[in-house]
Structure 1
């Protein structure tokens, strides 16, 4: 990590990952309140898009070229609809531990794809750091259960989710040289809503006012839409613009660690020594990768 400017963006990335790590609590409560995964995603995206439109001054409708507009569409498809739908659907077919472990390979996939696209060998520190963090994630995820049950469909969906986020990250990195984070994020959520329509057409949308306007539901939708989506996606684009995409992606390794710690604090779940060993390797890997 070089320079105070870089440190600020590393701290920002850490804060974003922290917010994303605790969203599962809000999502779980919304599911228990009667909303489906696609319902939550739709309302979350709509709230984020409204917020982005309010702050977009001047309001620019289209990208500078058809090619760039298509890349914005891909951001919405990969970073929005496909990422969330494949991850949520995977939970119906495979174990949570499988989902967490496979999705946490995103930084490694990002590292490999970036190397292929840029046609250069990745730094040894990035590879070593990524592998150390993946080792730490594995220890955290399997701290109470070391059994992996293979489920081809569910595990393929997890892999598709990880690949979707990787493609979103790399596309954002390229677009950020020509567009502001606000514009990219607004277009991402617009196309995220657009590509979600076929899913809603097949599954339907819950529009019950009794559910949507209850305090428990509306407060958590606002958190997911305006903080976890609107603010965090925009700031994540800023981090990708200022830092190496692989280094930023490595912060994703922290998500299982933070999620488990949050579960212990909020839901009273127990911790054991493997969680702390895993957290140590995750942090060590991130330090090595960031040098």
Structure 2
């Protein structure tokens, strides 16, 4: 369900939504996932949000708003694009919550593999036509390298680490780390793309780190969760 449904739909609605909205709107709506995780975890898993977790999530989102900055007034945005991106954020909460019992039983590696294979079926069916059309005009080596990076490291590796963290810290706390993405992208842009950084972006980055720290400190007080590793052994 998490693979075919949540993860597959996430990929589709996120990419389609980006075509109909700005990158600013996309970043803001996508980073609402930790905020959605609080009530959804409460409803599905009966996990009452901790005060520290709620403060960390709100502080992190404020930091993202500061880092993204003001949207381009000349850019084209639509309600459809914003709603699709918001739907992608909610889907990612499902990707995080749904497989938790399976990860606890079988481990993060096999569950992440099943989820990615399931999402590949959904994305493959939707993108089959474009894939066939690209045969006549294949992409360059740079595009293939980007595909290899996103497929192996960004998808497989990141999902394994992500689901292990969910089992140990809980969904709401782990999702707060989602806010680190814009900050890391900003720092990489400075190093590799010679991009400039505004003071508000630095303040936003500090707010994100503060939010993650607050959420992490709240998670330390939670009891440890026993997690099954891929070899079938259990570790605290």
The TM-score bracket by the shorter chain reads 0.7 to 0.9
Contact 1:75/1:171, CA 8 A, preserved across alignment = no
Q: Which residue of 2 aligns with 1:259?
A: 185
Q: CA deviation at 1:215?
A: 3.1
Q: CA deviation at 1:146?
A: 7.9
Q: TM-score, normalised to structure 2's length?
A: 0.83
State the distance in 2 between where 1:163 and 1:145 align: 22
Q: Do structure 1's residue 106 and structure 2's residue 33 form an aligned pair?
A: yes
Q: CA deviation at 1:130?
A: 0.6
State the distance in 1 between where 2:155 and 2:47 align: 33
Greater Cα offset, 215-224 or 145-154: 145-154
State the distance in 1 between where 2:76 and 2:131 align: 32
**SS at 2:49's partner residue?**
coil
Q: Do structure 1's residue 271 and structure 2's residue 213 form an aligned pair?
A: no
State the distance in 1 between where 2:133 and 2:161 align: 30
**SS at 1:83's partner residue?**
helix
Q: Which residue of 1 aligns with 2:51?
A: 124
State the distance in 2 between where 1:230 and 1:206 align: 27
State the distance in 2 between where 1:219 and 1:209 align: 19
Q: How far does the alpha carbon of each residue in 1:129-156 deviate from its partner, in whole angstroms, 9 at most, with x for none?
A: 11011111100011x5486986310111
Q: Which residue of 2 aligns with 1:13?
A: none
State the distance in 2 between where 1:152 and 1:110 align: 23
Q: CA deviation at 1:218?
A: 2.7
State the distance in 2 between where 1:243 and 1:75 align: 22
State the distance in 2 between where 1:182 and 1:76 align: 17
Q: Which residue of 1 aligns with 2:9?
A: 82
State the distance in 1 between where 2:119 and 2:196 align: 37
Q: Do structure 1's residue 250 and structure 2's residue 176 form an aligned pair?
A: yes
Structure 1: runs of 5+ lacking an equivalent: 1-72
Q: Which residue of 1 aligns with 2:224?
A: none
Q: How far does the alpha carbon of each residue in 1:155-188 deviate from its partner, in whole angstroms, 9 at most, with x for none?
A: 1101110011001100122221222212111111
Structure 2: runs of 5+ lacking an equivalent: 218-236
Change (3 A) 1:250 1:206: farther
Structure 1 residues 23-172: aligned runs within 5 Å: 73-79=1-7, 81-142=8-69, 145=71, 151-172=78-99
Structure 1 residues 178-257: aligned runs within 5 Å: 178-208=105-135, 211-212=138-139, 214-257=140-183
Q: CA deviation at 1:289?
A: 1.1
**SS at 2:106's partner residue?**
coil
